[in-house]
């Protein structure tokens, strides 16, 4: 009987608490709208590209996402551990980021330190050329100040954008 009462008490408490959703942090946008960004390089859909939305005046929350294998990033607005799918209304600069390509024969720190100054310069030039040749995202898309891409999110728009980094 005691187990039954405990079960009932647990069930009622769970039902009551389930109606109390997590409260948004102070200053967090009340409304966000579904937003997606597709990143391509020509016809190739790019995976694992980080997408960031930047406001003119920085806020305590962040807006962004990461592209999946289909090249699509579902945008989320986050603050600490709290998040909502979508972005608040507004116009944003959109910037992209990727992991730096690693050369197949990249040196360890110890190997690099063993090089002469002339060898280091040669190695750095080789490494920079490799990174540039294997970069998916041109540098112009990585800077908030230089990105040519922006998006306006609104309640009435589809809030979808495709960025072709080959252009």
Confidence at residue 5, expressed as pLDDT on a 0 to 100 scale: 40
Confidence at residue 23, expressed as pLDDT on a 0 to 100 scale: 66
Q: What pTM, to 2 d.p., does this model score?
A: 0.75
Q: Are 107 and 123 spatial neighbours (Cβ–Cβ below 8 Å)?
A: yes
Rounded to whole angstroms, how far apart are CA atoms 95 and 147? 6
Q: Are 158 and 86 spatial neighbours (Cβ–Cβ below 8 Å)?
A: no
Cα-Cα end-to-end distance for the chain? 71
Distances (CA, A) of 149 to 53, 144, 167: 10, 10, 12
Per-residue pLDDT of the chain (167 residues; tens, 9 = 90+): 444 343 333 333 333 333 445 667 776 777 999 999 999 999 999 999 999 999 887 788 899 999 999 999 999 999 888 899 999 999 999 999 999 888 999 999 999 999 999 999 999 999 999 988 998 999 899 998 999 999 999 999 899 999 999 98
Q: Are 158 and 37 spatial neighbours (Cβ–Cβ below 8 Å)?
A: no
Q: Are 19 and 62 spatial neighbours (Cβ–Cβ below 8 Å)?
A: no
Rounded to whole angstroms, how far apart are CA atoms 113 and 153? 49
Confidence at residue 22, expressed as pLDDT on a 0 to 100 scale: 60
Residue ranges of domains in the chain, CATH in brackets? 26-98+136-164 (2.60.40.10)
């Amino acid at each position: 009987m005691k187990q039954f009462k405990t079960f009932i008490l647990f069930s009622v408490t769970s039902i009551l608490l389930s109606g109390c959703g997590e409260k948004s942090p102070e200053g967090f946008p009340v409304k966000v709208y579904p937003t997606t960004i597709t990143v391509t390089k020509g016809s190739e859909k790019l995976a694992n590209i980080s997408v960031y939305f930047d406001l003119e005046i920085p806020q305590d929350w962040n807006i962004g996402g990461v592209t999946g294998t289909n090249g699509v990033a579902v945008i989320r607005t986050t603050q600490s551990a709290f998040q909502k799918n979508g972005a608040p209304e507004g116009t944003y600069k959109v910037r992209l980021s990727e992991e730096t390509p690693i050369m197949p024969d990249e040196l360890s720190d110890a190997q690099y330190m063993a090089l002469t100054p002339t060898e280091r310069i040669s190695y750095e030039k080789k490494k920079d050329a490799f990174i540039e040749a294997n970069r998916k995202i041109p540098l112009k898309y990585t800077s908030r100040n230089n990105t040519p891409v922006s998006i306006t999110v609104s309640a009435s728009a589809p809030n979808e954008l495709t960025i072709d980094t080959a252009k």
